[in-house]
């Protein structure tokens, strides 16, 4: 697949390019700042854009804002955001739209997981970093619907939130897919979420519930 990388650190950018190339992907363009990234993406029109949240010119959240711009131009354009640390400001509004992922940069080192997440995003699904999900799926107050979930259910929910399908969850937790489905029903019931078939909708639903 054709990929554009928006990343200001040359070390990281080149490392990523090498990893992706070795895994059979085509890095069709790179950009060192949010502004040039927009031009490159518009010119190349890649299958997937990987963007660092913190980029020049202001080194704050220029990457995230560029992602929002790109998404507004073409809502189905797959985007994978990378960040050095957890920040959720722009994540939720983008993740719900599908074809969007948000990972910590460390995840690149787990090449298999990373490529898997890329694939999900490219297919219009979601990919959320487990650490971000962990922060989101912890009950923060009394009466939080999350506190009603069992430990196993919370585990399943976290994987759902990462953007995984039931079969992927079953594989990960070494469970029968049926068991995962029954956990899901229980979770949706406890959280009062209507079940929906699309993967990213499930993520959206979960996140919306978590943020309320």
Residues at the interface with other proteins (CB under 8 A): 9, 11-12, 14-16, 18-19, 22-23, 54, 59-61, 84-89, 104-106, 108-111, 135, 138-143, 147
Q: How far is the CB of 106 from other proteins (least distance, A)?
A: 5
Q: Look up residue 175 and give its two tokens.
A: 């469970």
User: Tokens at residue 15, please?
Assistant: 């490392």
Provide, rounded to whole angstroms, the least separation between the CB of residue 205 and other proteins. 19
The nearer residue to other proteins, 11 or 72, going by C-beta atoms, is 11
Of 41 and 108, which CB lies nearer to other proteins in the complex structure? 108
Whether 1 and 25 have beta carbons less than 8 Å apart is answered as yes
The CB-of-178 to other proteins minimum distance in angstroms stands at 31
Complex with other proteins: residue 142 or 194, whichever CB lies closer: 142
Quickly count: other Cβ atoms within 10 Å of residue 159's Cβ.
21
d(C-alpha 71, C-alpha 62), whole Å: 14
DSSP state of 146: G
Please report which residue ranges of 23-98 form alpha helices under DSSP H: 34-44, 62-73, 91-95
Of 86 and 122, which has the nearer Cβ to other proteins? 86
């Amino acid at each position: 697949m054709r990929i554009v990388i928006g990343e200001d650190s040359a070390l990281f950018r080149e490392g990523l390019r090498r990893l992706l190339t070795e895994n059979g992907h085509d890095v069709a363009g790179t950009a060192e700042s949010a502004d040039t990234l927009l031009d490159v993406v518009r010119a190349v029109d890649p299958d997937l854009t990987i963007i660092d949240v913190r980029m020049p010119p202001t080194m704050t959240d220029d990457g995230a804002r560029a992602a929002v711009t790109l998404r507004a131009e073409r809502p189905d354009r797959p985007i994978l955001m990378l960040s050095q640390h957890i920040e959720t400001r722009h994540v939720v509004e983008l993740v719900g739209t599908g074809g969007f992922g948000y990972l910590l940069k460390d995840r690149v080192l787990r090449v298999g997981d990373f490529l898997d997440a890329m694939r999900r995003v490219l297919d219009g699904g979601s990919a959320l970093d487990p650490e971000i999900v962990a922060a989101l799926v912890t009950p923060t107050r009394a009466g939080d619907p999350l506190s009603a979930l069992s430990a196993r259910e919370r585990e399943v929910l976290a994987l759902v939130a990462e953007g995984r399908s039931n079969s992927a969850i079953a594989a990960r937790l070494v469970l029968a897919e049926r068991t995962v489905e029954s956990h899901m029903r229980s979770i949706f019931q406890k959280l009062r979420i209507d079940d929906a078939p699309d993967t990213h909708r499930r993520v959206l639903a979960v996140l919306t519930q978590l943020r309320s």
